Amino acid sequence: MITPRKPTSRLGQGLSALIPDGPAASEMLRSVPVEALEPGPFQPRGGMDRTSLDELAASIREHGILQPILVRPKRGQPDRYEIIGGERRWRAAQAAQLHDVPVVIRDLGDREAMAAGLVENLQRQDLNAVEEAEGYRRLIDEFGLTQEALGATVGKSRSHVANTLRLLSLPPQVRNLVSINVLSAGHARALIGAADPGKLAAQIVARGLNVRQAEALATTKPRPPGASAKPQDADTRALERHLVERLGLAVSVKHQGKGGSVTIRYQTLDQLDGLVRLLADSG
């Protein structure tokens, strides 16, 4: 029996603290029937992409399972195990019609099992962006980690953790589009703080906008109710659309007599730097 330490101190060292690289780990490595395993209660992922699962199954048929599945004994049921990390490998092994799979068995409590499952999936980049954000939130809430400590645990920068967590502020319909890979995380981040993210997300999908175009759409402010303006002619509207697609930023063109103005709006310094580089390259 392994004597558990406090979850917070172990988690800070990543999975190596839960599965040490020593004789103790190798002694617990064994092969068990694939039907002896079942998903654990702390899996961070939602659905699994069928195509990706089929590709993994094909690889397993050719090379076998290269990384053991992390499991713990199922309480009250001898020779049954709950999966802590590696459910995707287990499902792919079933599709590949393997009879046995390699496992590392650890007798972990619920909190340690949750931490290990989350950390393994996050380290393997095995989740979509929303599942990743939800995993970060659970680790922060359960273990009181700072974003910097969490980043060190899963091998990510603090800014990556912070930006990913911001996705959770989006409405459910937008998060769902990310979960099913209709919107990328970059598209979704462009909608954070927008007045109507759901409506903008639908426009992005319908128009097939790239991330820069989505950022431009999100930063375009609607005209206040009751405000009057001279209707634009078709040529001006077409010019604005062309500039938006070319620059990836919100652009407005106004004619004033024989002259006029072109206004380009940016949200971040990175967007400004990109515009400057684009103009310099065009010179």
pLDDT at 237 over 50: yes
212 within a domain of the structure (yes/no): no
Quick one: the chain helix, strand, coil %, rounded to 5? 55, 15, 35
Q: Which two tokens stand for residue 15?
A: 């999975």
Distance CA 55, CA 129 (A): 21
* Tens-place pLDDT, residues 131-140: 889 888 888 8
Asked about 134 being catalytic, the answer comes back as no
Domain boundary among 165, 197, 221: 165
Which among 87, 112, 131, 215 is annotated as catalytic?
87
197 within a domain of the structure (yes/no): no
Q: What is the mean pLDDT of residues 26-44?
A: 81
Domain boundary among 143, 165, 187: 165
Domain count along the chain: 2
120 within a domain of the structure (yes/no): yes
122 and 254 together in one domain: no
Domain boundary among 165, 182, 215: 165
- pLDDT band, residue 6 (cuts 50/70/90): very low
115 and 255 together in one domain: no
* Tens-place pLDDT, residues 50-76: 777 888 899 999 988 988 998 999 988
239 and 160 together in one domain: no
15 within a domain of the structure (yes/no): yes
22 and 141 together in one domain: yes
| pLDDT at residue 16, as a whole number | 46
**142: nearest Cα among 96, 109, 171:** 109
Question: Cβ(127)–Cβ(44) under 8 Å?
Answer: yes
Q: Which two tokens stand for residue 2?
A: 């392994």
206 within a domain of the structure (yes/no): no
Q: In whole numbers, what is the pLDDT of the chain averaged over residues?
A: 79
147 within a domain of the structure (yes/no): yes
pLDDT at 216 over 80: yes
241 within a domain of the structure (yes/no): yes
247 and 121 together in one domain: no
| pLDDT at residue 100, as a whole number | 94
What's the distance, CA 238 to chain centroid? Answer: 36
Q: What is the mean pLDDT of residues 3-18?
A: 42
257 and 125 together in one domain: no
pLDDT at 103 over 70: yes
Question: Cβ(145)–Cβ(136) under 8 Å?
Answer: no
Among 14-28, 173-187, 191-205, 265-279, the range scoring the smallest mean pLDDT is 14-28
What's the distance, CA 59 to chain centroid? Answer: 24
The residues, any chain, with a CB within 8 Å of residue 136's CB and separated by 6 or more, are: 122, 150, 161, 164, 165
pLDDT at 14 over 50: no
148 and 265 together in one domain: no
29 and 122 together in one domain: yes
Question: Cβ(278)–Cβ(271) under 8 Å?
Answer: no
pLDDT at 7 over 80: no
161 and 243 together in one domain: no
143 and 270 together in one domain: no
pLDDT at 257 over 60: yes
122 and 34 together in one domain: yes
Q: How many helices (H) and strands (E) does the chain have?
A: 14, 7
Choose between 97 and 18: higher pLDDT.
97
The residues, any chain, with a CB within 8 Å of residue 73's CB and separated by 6 or more, are: 80, 81, 82, 105, 107
pLDDT at 225 over 50: yes
Q: What's the first-to-final CA gap in the chain, in angstroms?
A: 70
Helical H runs in the chain? 7-11, 23-27, 50-63, 87-95, 110-123, 129-143, 147-154, 158-165, 172-179, 185-190, 197-207, 211-219, 234-247, 269-282
173 within a domain of the structure (yes/no): no
Q: Specify the CATH number for the domain of residue 92.
A: 3.90.1530.30
| pTM tops 0.75 | no
Domain span holding position 91 = 7-165
